[in-house]
Amino acid sequence: MQARSRLSAVVLLMMGLIAGLVIATQWERTPTQPVFGTPNFANPDKSIPAGDREIRTLEDLNKAFVDLAKSVNPSVVTVFTERVYRVRQDRMFPFFRSPFDDFFEDFFGRRQPRQEPEEREYRRSGLGSGVIVSTEGYIITNNHVIDNADTIRVRLIDRRSFPATVVGTDPQTDIAILKVEADNLPAIPLGDSDAIEIGEWVLAIGSPLSPELAHTVTSGIVSAKGRTGVGLAEYEDFIQTDAAINPGNSGGALVNMNGELIGINSAIATRTGGFQGIGFAVPVNMARMVMESLLEHGEVIRGWLGVYIQDIDDIMAQAMDLPVHEGVLVSDVQENSPAERAGLQQGDVIIKLDGKQLLSQSQLRNEVASRAPDTNVKVTIIRDGRERTIDVTLGRLEPDDIAVRPDTDFDELLGFRVASLTEESASRYGIDPSRSGVVVTEIQRNSTAARQGLREGDLITHVNRQRVENRDLFYENVRGMQRGDTILLNVTRDNRNMFLAFPL
């Protein structure tokens, strides 16, 4: 009897061990990471049964957002600006005073003393946001937040307020650096905006619409990267997000799930003036470059390659028999530039810079401008259907180099682009290569220039009766023109000369 009892106990023990092994095997197949991915702020207990894991993960996700907001919100400040206007006006009847009033006498024939204009002062207030990036009191914000302000104050989340001075500004990226005299401020760590991916969760923090709404936290995702053509700055490489951004959020923080600053909220695309799900932030890598240059040199120093460039579309790729549809086409090379000294040529297609794939001219401009002068870069090009890499030592970008770029807003005003005439372009468009001038390489279909008959491939020899022998001289002659001015062109087409005139 006892032997039978012992046997039953052994059987039960073996069955228990087998069941335990089966259960343990099933648990090993259950994912131990949260279904929403990393980083894992809450460190969930791995012993939780699989059936309860999803509910626990949602709690962890909620706690992660709460902890993230608590950690980064103190680094965001509200920026108050004030600009003083002084206006001179007459003390009595300022809108009805006649210039002949000083010649009239009163009823008794006495000449009335002239009333000197009175100066009145008006104040205009502004509201924005900023981000503390140093415990010593350095703050990044947007240039348009503090532009032309006479006084600037910042207010922290604990309601402390400090006057701020402008360390430096860079309108070309819409970044400004402020400084407050305070110690041990809650600085936010800077992330790597190049490493972010579309679809990442982000938080936007700022002071939308009103000081009473300061430190508003909204969430969303990274909707896109590398947005250009927004029209807010010269150098645009915006991060697009659907986190709610409204007026007043400008200069605020866009942070990732690690609590790192990845962007400075700057603009919105809207038809109503309010949030419509499309916001733009300056990448923190660009803002950091601007800040470091301003602090070290007192100005933003940028690299310079010295090429005129344009994007490649299907028609251009087909016409030039290019093996790629991505990259940047060199339409011209500036004389005595780093590009010319390194051997870059018109018609080269730049596809990589230091091994990084290039998709647009804006990307190339940003990459070059973000590097310091005298930096050696490897430029990968396609020439005559073959890929090769050229070493280039960048120069320093000067204001004059910016003024004559073909990809500025001035080309939008003209409605077309030009390049110096070369043997290659002369052959392509059937132009006598002994001629001098500039050839029209691109024209907007609905522009005034197109409606007046200007065509791609036309050779322009004179602008406003001034001879132009190359592209630089062309832009030098039209640089001072404005919208509404009339431009006169001498054009050669099919060996026939003609005049074309049209308003810009």
Instruction: Enumerate helices (H) and strands (E) in the chain, giving the number of each.
Output: 12, 27
Q: What would the 3-class secondary structure string for 294-344 be?
A: HHHHCCCCCEECCEEEEECCHHHHHHCCCCCCCCEEEEEECCCCHHHHHCC
Two tokens, residue 64: 């992660």
Q: What CATH number should be reported for the domain whose range is 303-402?
A: 2.30.42.10
pTM (2 d.p.): 0.62
**163 residue type, one letter:** P
The contacts of residue 106 (CB under 8 Å, 6+ apart) are 112
Two tokens, residue 445: 């279909």
408-503, which class in CATH?
mainly beta
For β-strands 201-206 and 416-420, DSSP reports them as unpaired
DSSP state of 190: B
In b/e form, how buried is each residue of 37-56, taking b as 16+ CB within 10 angstroms?
Answer: eeeebeebeeeeeeeebeee
The contacts of residue 386 (CB under 8 Å, 6+ apart) are none
Alpha-carbon gap, residue 42 to 64, rounded angstroms: 7
DSSP notation for 453-474: T--TTPEEEEETTEE--SHHHH
Is there a contact between 228 and 238 (Cβ–Cβ < 8 Å)? yes
- Distance set, CA 390 to CA 28, 195, 374 (Å): 53, 27, 15
Alpha-carbon gap, residue 281 to 296, rounded angstroms: 24
Two tokens, residue 461: 């020899």
Catalytic residue flag (residue 215): no
Phi, psi torsion values for 362, nearest 5 degrees: -65, -40
Phi, psi torsion values for 213, nearest 5 degrees: -105, 20
Q: What would the 3-class secondary structure string for 227-240 be?
A: ECCCCCCCCCCEEE
Is there a contact between 294 and 385 (Cβ–Cβ < 8 Å)? no
By residue count, the chain amounts to 504
Catalytic residue selected from 75, 129, 223, 250:
250
User: How buried is 181 (Cβ within 10 angstroms: 0-12 exposed, 13-18 middle, 19+ buried)?
Assistant: exposed
Catalytic residue selected from 144, 207, 362, 370:
144
**18 residue type, one letter:** I
Catalytic residue selected from 174, 332, 348, 458:
174
- The pLDDT value given to residue 11: 47
Catalytic residue flag (residue 174): yes
Identical topology for domains 193-297 and 303-402: no
Q: Dihedral of the CA atoms 263, 265, 269, 270 (nearest 10)?
A: 150
Domain ranges of the chain: 193-297, 303-402, 408-503
- The pLDDT value given to residue 155: 92
- The pLDDT value given to residue 394: 92
- Options 3.90.190.20, 2.40.10.10, 3.40.50.300, 2.60.40.1120; which CATH number does 193-297 get? 2.40.10.10
Alpha-carbon gap, residue 180 to 136, rounded angstroms: 8
Alpha-carbon gap, residue 334 to 406, rounded angstroms: 12
Task: Tell me how crowded residue 392 is: count the other CB atoms within 10 A of its CB.
Answer: 23
- The pLDDT value given to residue 392: 92
Task: List the chain pLDDT tens, one digit each, 504 residues.
Answer: 455 555 455 445 555 544 454 444 333 333 333 332 323 323 333 333 333 334 467 777 787 788 888 889 999 999 998 887 666 555 544 444 444 444 445 444 555 555 556 666 667 778 889 999 998 889 999 998 888 888 899 999 888 999 999 988 888 888 999 999 888 899 999 999 888 999 998 999 988 887 788 888 998 999 988 887 776 777 888 899 988 888 888 888 999 988 899 999 988 877 766 777 888 999 999 999 999 989 888 888 899 998 888 888 777 777 677 777 778 888 888 888 999 999 998 888 898 998 888 888 888 988 898 888 999 999 999 888 888 999 999 999 876 544 334 444 566 778 888 888 877 778 778 888 778 889 998 888 778 888 888 888 899 998 887 888 888 788 877 877 777 788 888 888 887 777 787 887
Catalytic residue flag (residue 106): no
Alpha-carbon gap, residue 56 to 59, rounded angstroms: 5
